[in-house]
Amino acid sequence: MTVQIEMPQLSSDGEGATLATWLVSVGDRVEQGDVIAELETDKSTLELESPASGTITEFVVQEGAEEIMAGTVLGMIDADDAEDVPVVEGVAASAGVEPGPPAIVDVGSGIVADTSGEEKDLRGSTPLARRAAVDRDVDLTSLAGSGPGGRVLEEDVLLSADRAPSGNGAVPAAVRNDPGAPVVQMTGSFTTVRLSAMRKTIARRMTEAKQQIPHFYLRSRCSMDAVVDTRAKLNRDLAALARDTKISLNDFILRAAGLALRDVPEANVSFAGDAMQVFEDVDIAVAVATEGGLVTPVVRNVDQKGLTTLAAEVKDLASQARAGKLRPEQYQGGSFTISNLGMYGIESVYPILNSPQACILGVGAAEERPVVRNGEIVVGRVASLTLAADHRAVDGAIAARLLAAIRARLEDPLSMML
C-alpha cells in the first residue's frame, strides 16, 4: 500500500521550509521513525522521520526545493502496514499541474504549461533550476544541462540569464526580477550564491519591519563598572565551588531587561492592528550569530530566573542555534529582543525591530572612558544602550522609562540578586 511522506507543520506562522537533503534513496528499505530527510527552516535544520515501514518508491520533491508548505507530498513509501497513515492511490493528484495561460511551472513536479496550455515535461532539470528559470524568464527547453545525464542545473540557468543580451544600460535579469533590488548595471567578476531559507526570511522580515513599522530610537550611556566587578566576583565564587558555569555581561543585560519589563509592563506589548497584545510573561529573544545568519532563540520567564540559570540556558540555546538544531518552539514567540555586539568592539547598535515585538535593545561595548564622578574626571567603563521601539504600540515616555529601568539595574547589579 502506498503511503505519502508529507511536509510536517514546522512553524506556527505557516511559513514554508526547504528540503535540504534526502538521507535515503529510491529503493531503500526504511523503518517507521527512521530519519529520512533534513528540512531547513529560517532558523534551524530539522530531521524528517519516516511515517511508515517499507520501501521508498518515489521522490515527488527533490533536494533544494524551497517554500514547501505543510501537507505537501514529498515522496512515497510502499508500506508494510499502512492502516494508520495517509494513503494515496496515485501520484497524479500531487503533481499540481495547472494548464492554461499564463505559463505555470510546478517546481516540484517539473511540469510546464505554456500560454497555449500545452504541457512540457522538464523533469530533466533540478527543482532549483526550474525555480531560477521562472524568476529569470529563461526557457529551460533551450538549455543544454551540465549535470549528470544532461540534467539542467541552477548554475546553467543563472549562466544563461547572465549571458542574455540586456541592451544599452539595461539591468540583468537577476536584478530585474527582484523589485526590491537597486537598479544598477552589474560589472566585474562575481559568483552567484543561492540564499538559504534563513537568509531569505531575514531579508524579507527586516525589509518589512523597516518599511512598515515606525521605529524610533532612544540612546543612553550606562556605567558598567559595578556590573563588571560583580561578574568577576561571581565567576570567582563559581570556580571555587567547581561549577562550570560562567556568567557573561550579556546574562546581566538579559536579567536587567527581564526585571525592567516587569517594572514597565506597558512596554511588554505587541501592536496587533486595532488591538494591543499585552504579554503576561517576560520572554526575551537573544540574537545569536550563526554561519547562516542571525538567529533569535527565546529565553522564557526571564524575570523569574537567576543569573546562573540564565547563563546555562543562553549557552545551551546558542549552541543549538549554531548547530542548526533549534526546535520551532525554541525560537518562536518572545516579547522583546536583545542584540549585543559589544564583544566585537562596536560602540553603538541601532537594531531593526523583530516584528511583531514592540521593542529591541542594542548593546555596545563596555569601554574605558573619561567620566565625571563627584566633580572629578576618572576612568570608567561605559556602554551605549540603544532602545528601538514601535511607535504604534510604545510612546516615547514608556520607552524612556524602560531604558532607564534597564540602566538602573545594570548600574546597581545587587538589585538583580533579589
Provide the annotated active-site residues.
391
In 3D space, the residue among 284, 314, 276, 315 whose CA is nearest the CA of residue 302 turns out to be 284
Are 220 and 363 a contacting pair, CB within 8 Å? no
Q: Dig out the grid coordinates for 89 from the structure.
A: 492511490
- Neighbouring-strand partners of residue 2: 78
**Three-class DSSP labels, 72-112:** CEEEEEEECCCCCCCECCCCHHHCCCCCCCCCEEECCCCEE
- Neighbouring-strand partners of residue 29: 55
In 3D space, the residue among 125, 350, 366, 103 whose CA is nearest the CA of residue 218 turns out to be 350
Are 359 and 350 a contacting pair, CB within 8 Å? no
Residue 85 to residue 221: CA distance in whole angstroms:
59
Q: Dig out the grid coordinates for 51 from the structure.
A: 511515517
> Angle formed by the axes of helices 154-163 and 127-136, to 10°?
20
Residue 361 to residue 366: CA distance in whole angstroms:
15
Query: At a CB cut-off of 8 Å and minimum separation 6, what does 46 contact?
Result: 10, 17, 38, 39, 40, 327
How many residues are there in the chain?
418
Query: At a CB cut-off of 8 Å and minimum separation 6, what does 84 contact?
Result: none
